[in-house]
A and B are shown apart, each in its own frame.
Chain A
Amino acid sequence: MFANGQTFFQVGITAKLEMNALQTMGTDGRDVRQFEKSPGGAYGLAVAQSLGKRLFGELSFLSTRAVYNPNISVGNTSMQKADLRLFQTNATINAWLSNGNFARIYAFGGLQHMYRRWGEEYYTNAALQDSRWPNHRLQVTAGLGVGVKCTQNIYARIFSGLRYNPVQTLIYDTPMNQVFTGISVFWQWEKSAKPAYYKCPQF
């Protein structure tokens, strides 16, 4: 049974499938593509802490690879591909939307920081301006998930969401730049809430 009325702390592993999106003109100048075909994987560790009866916070650290194929042509120069190794830190606030003994739906929203560990950008004839993925990037994530109790101490969460980038600096940027889904498995420590303290009546 889920720990209603209890505080919990979780440490676990997490894995994500990320569908990176881009928006650009194709080589014929008309083809506007919203979603890149090549998916990227991410894996890492996460911790979660209850913040009350309905809320819990989650912090995750993931290593990820993102491959973009913009195929942008500007005159006789073009950019074919960006192959990036990133480190992402996610900080989210999560809210339980339902009650249940073994499964509960939750919504999450928060910030994601991406750090460029290293990467390769491929061009023809010359590098294009505003095409290098930056060293740091702060983005917003939000989505829905389901928390499942597997055993007394092991919990899993399956989630899907969107990533939003408020600042468009790359020539292949699009505001809603990723759809992702993932799974996390946690080991949970629980602490029951203290029983209500009743004062002796004063007469």
Chain B
Amino acid sequence: MKKNQLFIAIAAMAAIISFTASCKKDKVIITNTGNNVKAKSLDVLNMFKNKAPQKQTITVNITTGGMVTGAKGTMVYFYASSLLDKNGNKVTGNVDVELTEFMSKSDMLFSGVTVTSGDQLLESGGMFELRVKQGGQELTLDPTSAINITVPSTVVDMDPMDFWNGNDNQNKDNNLVDWKKVDSAKVNRVRDSQQGGGFKNGFNAMQFNYFKFGYCNIDREWGKFKNKCSKFRIKMPNGCVDSNSTALLLFKNYNCCAWCYWMTDEDRISTGYQLPAGETLKVLIYKKTGPGENDLEMSLQEVVLGDDTEVVFTSTTACTLAQLEAAIEAL
């Protein structure tokens, strides 16, 4: 047996590999059924727009740098000359920092900035939207510089959190943001006895040398590793249809919530996100009964999720918009 037979054979195979390698491109084929349009047939977010967290605009002289502190405790430190304009030039002078903080479950539900990532629900440790503008034009962070961000933690325990960036949710439902984990960003969870005010649960501190302004989130995946509820449905009372009613759900023991949507073919409401079995869930439904702002009815149930869970509502109680908002805030 010749010594070079092996090498000849391998060379022949390498040639065949080259021959069979294809130049065809990967494809993702998405067919739109139109069902997702029905998910927003009740204009939920417009109804609660006055209760949604408001954008705070703070001016910073970026030539010297400075600290921005939001009303709910988020702190952003900009280093001197750390921003670039759309042409890549260093920005000087005053810039407008636009900061919106989404900390509580009601903040999330009123704004639609919930904790949805793909088909998963996350647990939020604090979310915010951060944009910086000068003369109306959006600016970016100079990659040779850095930015420091400190966010009050919305959860008591000190389990690790990750940093996430938000994109538009392609599901087109009332959960507006699809979160993507930024693996390179390290979130330092900090707590000490001197903290007060907004930092009673500790805080999440981060320093970035690359940062994409927009929706930002300190979250963790909590339900992904639990047993999944294979089917979840909400049966609404008689008279409820997709154009007049909807439901929201939130977890009793986790800072996690989401809007639901109608499955008109089943005449049920469900969620597009995986739910962990064994966890306690609060489900709130409401119905618009007329054109007036206060023509509303609502009902609330607390359930423990099983493998196959159907939450049945048989009636609703009349309420005003303020009462409904107060009920959501109290959940």
Contacts and interface: CB of A to CB of B under 8 A. Distances in A.
B261 A76 contact: yes
Interface in B160-179: 170-171, 173
B12 A45 contact: yes
Contact of A121 (B6, B29, B33): B29
A30 B1 contact: no
Contact of B35 (A45, A85, A125, A190): A125
Given A49-B6, A75-B273, A117-B21, A125 B1 contact: no
A181 interface: no
Nearest to A11: B9
A128 interface: yes
B118 A129 contact: yes
Residue from A29, A87, A128, A130 whose CB has the most chain B CB atoms within 10 Å: A29
A107 interface: no
A58 B44 CA distance: 63
A74 B273 contact: yes
Interface string A60-97: 01010000000000111100000001010000000000
B147 to A, nearest CB: 28
Contact of A123 (B22, B29, B120): B29
Contact of B171 (A30, A44, A47, A125): A125
Contacts of B20: 63, 87, 117
Residue from A63, A126, A130 whose CB has the most chain B CB atoms within 10 Å: A126
Contact of A189 (B1, B231, B272, B273): B1
B263 A76 contact: yes
Interface residues of A, number: 40
B17 interface: yes
Given A121-B28, A124-B31, A77 B272 contact: yes
B6 A74 contact: no
Contacts of A8: 1
A1 interface: no
B156 interface: no
A77 B29 contact: no
B30 A125 contact: yes
A118 interface: yes
B26 interface: yes
A9 interface: yes
A74 B35 contact: no
Nearest to B270: A75
Contacts of B312: none
Interface of A: 7-9, 11, 25, 28-30, 44-45, 47, 49, 61, 63, 74-77, 85, 87, 116-130, 132, 171, 189-191
Given A47-B9, A126-B170, 13 more contacts: A9-B5, A28-B231, A30-B230, A49-B6, A63-B20, A76-B171, A117-B24, A118-B26, A120-B29, A121-B27, A121-B29, A123-B29, A132-B28
